[in-house]
Amino acid sequence: MCIVHITISAIHLKNPQKAKDYAKSKFTKLTKYDQRIEKIEVRLIGALSHRDKNTDFDCELKIVVPGHDLEIKDTQSTITAAIDKAEDRVKRLLVKNKEKHLSKKHKLGLISKIRQKLSF
């Protein structure tokens, strides 16, 4: 299993170290969905909401898989909710991407088997 490089940055958060630790614990587990992940970049951002005086929290993810850069951004009312929502979305995206990759390899394998059987 390869080592995944995780970069986490936090902007405008009251307790950035706690948020970084929570994000790291969540996103280190993503390799079980796709072992080809090379790098994960996480940005945690707190910003005043446009609607009212409350703060909205963004969790932006960029995951580098060979041949693809997967990006996700989620906004929630708490930073942990934003991280959890982004984790759920990225899990589904990784599974979908991996299945697409495997189905292409499967199709190429079937074509090569048919060619071998047809050439006497």
Q: How confident is the model at residue 2 (pLDDT cuts 50, 70, 90)?
A: low
Pick the CATH number of 5-118 from 3.30.160.100, 3.30.350.10, 3.40.1390.20, 3.30.420.10: 3.30.160.100
Task: Tell me the pLDDT tens digit for each residue of 27-59.
Answer: 999 989 888 899 999 999 998 777 777 888 999
Domain ranges for the chain, please list them.
5-118
CA distances from 109 to 30, 67, 93, 119 (A): 28, 20, 24, 16
Is the distance from CB of 49 to CB of 66 less than 8 angstroms?
Answer: no
Task: Tell me the pLDDT tens digit for each residue of 15-25.
Answer: 999 999 999 99
Task: Tell me the pLDDT tens digit for each residue of 48-100.
Answer: 777 777 888 999 999 999 888 999 999 999 999 999 999 999 999 998 888 88
